[in-house]
Amino acid sequence: MIQEEGELVLRSLRAAVNAVAQRDCELADEVIAFDDEIDERYLAVERGVEALLARQAPTATDLRSALAISKVNLHLERMGDYCVTIAKLTKLSDGLPDHPVLLEWLEEMGSRAEEMIKVALAVFASRDAEGAEVLIDLDELIDRTNRRAVDQASAAGNDPGLREWAIRMILVSRCLERIGDHAVDIGEQTAYLVTGQFREFTDASHPPT
């Protein structure tokens, strides 16, 4: 069920990024509506974990597995929420002028976020704690593109419409960057599941408040 939920999130992310790149408000509406399916899967997994804890009283490794699944489930649901936010920002940007270079970088970030989700799901399924650390390097790549996108958006020029669009695209970039952070969190849960000890790979998923 976790893997199926992950596939739904990947589908939502792909559509959300395409909606931004193509300025497609109808596709953005589909992303917003599709979030109900992700939420339904999230609730089904949570109910399953609760039933397991109540009826089976798991100990040691099985308890750790149930707790890790619950955490991963939450990270996937949050990714879906960020996809909805991207879709809403796309609709709010309708009719505003855009910047092709910034759109290209957002598409790049979307591709990197998609890759990170796939890696996170794969290492969690195979309990590959060592492989999970690959997410650290992938996260740095998406962070680097995020910084470039913010710099580009900040230099949008004097056109009020373009500045407004650029500000909204900074928020889109931030959503994609946070999706990457949640993928790192899934990697951390993989390491916890295997070793029994939780440690943060980086501070990327817990930025200063």
**Residue 177 pLDDT exceeds 90:** yes
**Which of the four pLDDT bands, split at 50, 70 and 90, describes residue 195?**
confident
Domain membership of residue 130 as a residue range? 2-195
- Contact yes or no for 182/81 (Cβ under 8 A): no
Range in 32-36, 71-75, 153-157 the model is least confident about: 153-157
**Residue 156 pLDDT exceeds 80:** no
* CATH number, domain with residue 169: 1.20.58.220
pLDDT tens profile 101-125: 899 999 999 999 999 999 999 999 9
Give residue 203's pLDDT: 59
User: Does residue 89 form part of some domain?
Assistant: yes
User: Does residue 209 form part of some domain?
Assistant: no
User: Does residue 80 form part of some domain?
Assistant: yes
- Alpha-carbon distance values, 3 to 33, 110, 118 (Å): 21, 20, 10
pLDDT tens profile 1-33: 999 999 999 999 999 999 999 999 999 999 999
- Alpha-carbon distance values, 6 to 101, 108, 155 (Å): 30, 20, 36
| Domain count along the chain | 1
User: Does residue 13 form part of some domain?
Assistant: yes
Q: Report the alpha-carbon distance of residue 169 to residue 83 in Å, rounded.
A: 13
User: Does residue 139 form part of some domain?
Assistant: yes
Instruction: Identify the three-state secondary structure at position 39.
Output: helix
**Which of the four pLDDT bands, split at 50, 70 and 90, describes residue 150?**
confident
Chain-centre distance for alpha carbon 175: 7
**Which of the four pLDDT bands, split at 50, 70 and 90, describes residue 201?**
confident
**Which of the four pLDDT bands, split at 50, 70 and 90, describes residue 209?**
very low
Range in 19-23, 183-187, 196-200, 205-209 the model is least confident about: 205-209
Is this structure's pTM higher than 0.75?
yes
Q: What is the mean pLDDT of the chain?
A: 92
User: Does residue 201 form part of some domain?
Assistant: no
Q: Report the alpha-carbon distance of residue 196 to residue 121 in Å, rounded.
A: 19
Give residue 43's pLDDT: 97
User: Does residue 136 form part of some domain?
Assistant: yes
What percentage of the chain carries pLDDT values higher than 70? 96
Residue type, 70: S
- Contact yes or no for 121/6 (Cβ under 8 A): yes
Half-sphere exposure of 205 (CA within 13 A, CB side): 21
- Alpha-carbon distance values, 92 to 71, 87, 168, 171, 194 (Å): 32, 9, 8, 12, 44
Instruction: Identify the three-state secondary structure at position 91.
Output: helix
pLDDT tens profile 62-105: 888 999 999 999 999 999 999 999 999 999 999 999 989 899 99
Q: Report the alpha-carbon distance of residue 30 to residue 87 in Å, rounded.
A: 9
User: Does residue 93 form part of some domain?
Assistant: yes
